[in-house]
Amino acid sequence: MVIPGWLLRHTVSIEAYLGDSAYGPQYAAPVVARAFVEEKVRTVRNQQGEEVTASTTVYLLPTQACPPESRVTTPSGRVASVITSQLHDGGGLPTPDHREVTLE
């Protein structure tokens, strides 16, 4: 079961991180995605295992790509980097499959 569309009340713009080049980070063209945005400060672990502060959590469809270090523009217009991107898949159980993304 996929997260119900009626819960995805917001839209965000995602520029997927492609990697570094001689000129700095490279990003894909922006993609607009339906989401649920929760402005809430919490502590998470980044890819290096360090504790960092996340200011926003974004819930997306499970098929939406949003790798760490991507740029996300929230409905308020704030642009933030992705700290973590986790797929929550119930494996056929009646749970809402979704992608959880935390932002700086």
pLDDT digits (tens, 9 = 90+) for 56-102: 999 999 999 999 999 999 999 999 999 999 999 998 888 899 999 99
Please count the structural domains in the chain. Answer: 1
Contacts 24+ apart (CB under 8 A), 6-11: 7/36, 7/59, 7/96, 8/34, 8/35, 8/36, 8/59, 8/60, 8/61, 9/36, 10/34, 10/35, 10/36, 10/37, 10/74, 10/75, 11/35, 11/75
Per-residue pLDDT at 1: 86
**CATH number for position 88:** 2.40.10
Mean pLDDT computed over 36-61: 95
What pLDDT is recorded for position 74? Answer: 97
| Residue ranges making up the domain that contains 87 | 5-103
The answer, as to whether pTM is greater than 0.85, is yes
Mean pLDDT confidence for 35-39: 96
pLDDT for res 98: 95
